[in-house]
Chain A
Amino acid sequence: MDRRTFLASSAALTGLAVHGSFNQVLAQGTGPIKIGLLTPLTGVVASGGKEIVEGFNLYWEQVGKKAGGRDIEVFIEDDGSNPDIALQKARKLTEQTKVDFLVGDLLANTGLAVSEYAKTAGIPYFIPVIAADDLTQRKRIPNVIRVAGYTASQMPRPLADYAYKKMGYRKIITISQDYTFGHEQCGGFAQMFTELGGEIIAQHWNPLNTQDFSPYLAQIQAAKPDAVFAMETGADATRFISQWTNFGLKGKIPLLGAQNFTDQSVIRTMGPEAEGIISSAHFAEGNDAPATKKFVDEYNAAYKHLPSIYGFSHYSAALWIAQAIDAVKGNVEDRPAFLEAIRKVALTTSPLGRPVRLDAYGNPIYDVYIRNVVKRPDGKLWNVPVETYPEVTQFWKYDPETYMKQPSYSRTFQGTPSK
């Protein structure tokens, strides 16, 4: 081999032998606290993703971008509504931008991918919107905390109770996006509904980004259920509601929805086709509690539209995180202490108008409202509470330990009696 090659290869070999890992010197808390916000700015749930940024930023702007005596810097990355990209961006934020903790993501599959990364990298990850049940049930990760969030199956259970007892439905068909969030929302609904004595006569699962729902709508029409429970998010929800009306089913079959189905991000551009849909959630922007009204008015003034669950959840999350940062006096580098402070937060100033705290498994407890979509005097649509179910935890009427013995909700297990 010639001299050039010899020198180059020996340099490379020596380098290999001498290589060691460098220990990161933790900067003592004087610089700004860096927050990595992952959110889908493109893809099927881009409408919700934008509002995540709005809600999060609104809080920090209201307090002058400071907490615990330090400045707050938010780094926003687009997760593309896709778990591969979410993972890439999580890595980038943690390893290149060197943020102190991660927040955000919308779709459950992106959240699960980033949670797995957070587990191995040890970085705190807060998930106000990711509702994958197991993250606070069977597969709890200590540094992944559902700050101001909820589990997927938490909200539909009161709705199933309302549907059976108040509305008198006995036979229901569910249609849902085919991924964890959909499986768990439908599972929560189906298990409660069948335990009360109702029957789920069919369940349809559509891929994310379904353009044409007519095959499903035709089957629903033929089966003649008492009501339909629909779990769609983002652009899929908009399409479903329009096609439901165009197909002629509006007014003929009552429509029940998951909270994302009638979320502001979906209904604000719609008209009469969205009115009258019943859903359940901890947040209703039409709630006339003073704290909620104040938040809705401030949000509307800042962004010229009513807040959605995504905006609200991330506003509350920012509030929650700020309280924890104040509790540790800005020392977020001490991760165990910071995580402990997060767990101990009892949010008294939440826009919900009632205190919010975590249960023993790391998921918040809420009053769940049964909401109806109505038109305001100014023509805009919003969700107004018609009934309240107080103190709903992620387990509600079930005993946690017994509940966690049953398998996680999936396409094949929905908590219904096997046929």
Chain B
Amino acid sequence: MNMTHQKVWTVCTIVLLALIPFALSGYQTSLATLMLIYALLAMSIDIMAGYTGRTPLCHGAIFGVATYVVMYYVTSAGGNPWVGMLLGIGLAALVSLVFALLAVRTSGVYFLLLTLALGMVIWGVCQRWTSVTGGENGLRGAVRPDWLVDPSRFYYFVLAVGLVATLIMWRFVQSPFGLSLKGIRESESRMKSLGYHSTRHLIIGFVFSGVMAGVAGVLYALFNSFVSPSSVALAQSVKGLLMAIIGGVGTLFGGVVGAAVIIILENVVSSFTERWSMVLGVLFVLTMIFAPEGIVGKLRSIKWSRKGSK
């Protein structure tokens, strides 16, 4: 019953997403593309925050690093965007590995602060290494291949990549390995006593989530054709985390909902009021009070309580 229900929801969402370029203008389609990219980032954060139980504040930096690699490779080194994207994901994996080795032995607030600091190191490098990263000016130049310049085509490309990545993430968290991460979240000491090498599992989980953030990052390079230190700043990690929380930590798909909410707030609501960030803040507070499990989490618990009362 549960599985079919989920399949129906999934198919409906995919169909809805596929129809977007027909319903919306080119500019709005590009906003939807941005939403898909951020959804990937939010979902990658959710793997750590929701499933592993360790909330990171560095995935924005990993995301931005991948963007920088693509921009640098194509504009300064004159390379092919596809190779650049692979290199970007590769560097994201490497950075995640380094971060993981440094951070996974801590948990809770210490993990949060440590990943925050590591993200800031990346920001500092991007700010100061002017010869490579362009410093405050960032890197700019057309990186999108000609056949993807049309916003609808690019949207479908991002949608296809996003669906594949989401599928991979979904299989990952449902797999025995994903369950072991949940176990570590519940009780690390018990997992250790059962013989699981929790540190190794955490490192693998972290790198996996970093790779997914890297995928989002390379797509962002194609989307924006521009990168600056604000793409690796703390605000980026916080934005992704907010999306994961508002959508629902531990639900994976909550990332999509959260990304949609925040992108819409940023772009649509800001046309009506300058104080859109206040609206975001109020929304966040209300979510924390009435639906701390996020929008998707709340919908699921409503469904379950309805089932239970039958």
Contact = CB atoms under 8 A, between A and B. Distances in A.
Interface of A: 4-5, 8-9, 11-12, 15-16, 19, 21, 41, 78, 82-85, 87-88, 91-92, 95-96, 108-109, 112-113, 116-117, 120, 178-180, 207-208, 410-412
Where chain A touches its partner, the secondary structure class is helix
B15 interface: yes
Contacts of B27: 91-92, 95-96
A208 B136 CA distance: 9
B21 A19 contact: yes
Nearest to B267: A92
Contacts of B267: 88, 92
Contact of B140 (A4, A82, A113): A113
B172 interface: no
B55 interface: no
B115 interface: no
Interface of B: 11, 15, 18-19, 21-22, 25-28, 30, 127-128, 130-131, 135-138, 140-142, 150, 152, 156, 224-226, 228, 230-231, 267, 274
A87 B226 contact: yes
Contacts of A19: 21, 152
A208 B150 CA distance: 36
A379 to B, nearest CB: 33
16 contacts: A4-B11, A8-B11, A15-B22, A16-B156, A21-B150, A82-B228, A83-B230, A84-B231, A92-B27, A95-B25, A95-B26, A108-B137, A109-B137, A120-B225, A179-B137, A208-B136
Contacts of B11: 4-5, 8
A116 B140 contact: yes
**Nearest 10 pairs between A and B by C-beta?**
A179-B136, A95-B27, A8-B15, A12-B18, A116-B140, A96-B27, A109-B137, A83-B228, A109-B136, A84-B230
Given A5-B11, A91-B30, A208-B136, A411 B130 contact: yes
B143 to A, nearest CB: 11
A102 to B, nearest CB: 15
A9 B152 CA distance: 17
Chain B residues touching A, majority SS? helix
Contacts of B141: 116
Contacts of B127: 178, 207
Given A83-B230, A95-B30, A412-B130, 14 more contacts: A11-B19, A12-B15, A15-B19, A82-B228, A84-B224, A84-B226, A84-B230, A91-B27, A96-B25, A96-B28, A109-B136, A113-B140, A116-B225, A180-B137
Given A4-B11, A12-B19, A87 B137 contact: no
B224 A87 contact: yes
A178 B135 contact: yes
Nearest to B270: A78
B140 A112 contact: yes
Contacts of B142: 120
A117 B141 CA distance: 9
A133 to B, nearest CB: 12
Nearest to A87: B226
B220 to A, nearest CB: 10
A16 B22 CA distance: 10
Contacts of A8: 11, 15, 18
A341 to B, nearest CB: 29
A9 B16 CA distance: 11
A109 B150 CA distance: 27
B31 to A, nearest CB: 9
A411 B129 CA distance: 10
Nearest to A88: B267
B42 to A, nearest CB: 18
A208 B226 CA distance: 20
Contacts of A5: 11, 15
Nearest to A8: B15
Contacts of A179: 135-137
B147 to A, nearest CB: 13
Contacts of A84: 224, 226, 228, 230-231
Nearest to A24: B26
A313 B288 CA distance: 46
A21 B30 CA distance: 15
A186 to B, nearest CB: 14
A237 B139 CA distance: 27
Contacts of B140: 112-113, 116
Contacts of B28: 96
A225 to B, nearest CB: 24
B226 A113 contact: yes
A400 to B, nearest CB: 23
A85 to B, nearest CB: 8
Given A19-B21, A113-B226, A411 B135 contact: yes
Nearest to B152: A19
A398 B11 CA distance: 66
A87 B25 CA distance: 19
A66 B13 CA distance: 48
Contact of A116 (B26, B135, B226): B226
Contacts of A113: 138, 140, 226, 228
Nearest to B16: A8
A109 B228 contact: yes
B18 A112 contact: no
Contacts of B225: 116, 120
Contacts of B130: 410-412
Contact of A412 (B15, B131, B226): B131
A176 B235 CA distance: 25
Contact of A41 (B136, B150, B274): B274
B215 to A, nearest CB: 19
Contacts of B128: 178
Nearest to A177: B136
Nearest to B228: A83
Contact of A83 (B15, B152, B226): B226
Contacts of A120: 142, 225
A18 B26 CA distance: 16
Contacts of A83: 137-138, 226, 228, 230
Contacts of A208: 136
A214 to B, nearest CB: 20
A16 B153 CA distance: 9
Nearest to B22: A15
Contacts of A91: 27, 30
A366 to B, nearest CB: 25
A24 to B, nearest CB: 10
A317 B19 CA distance: 44
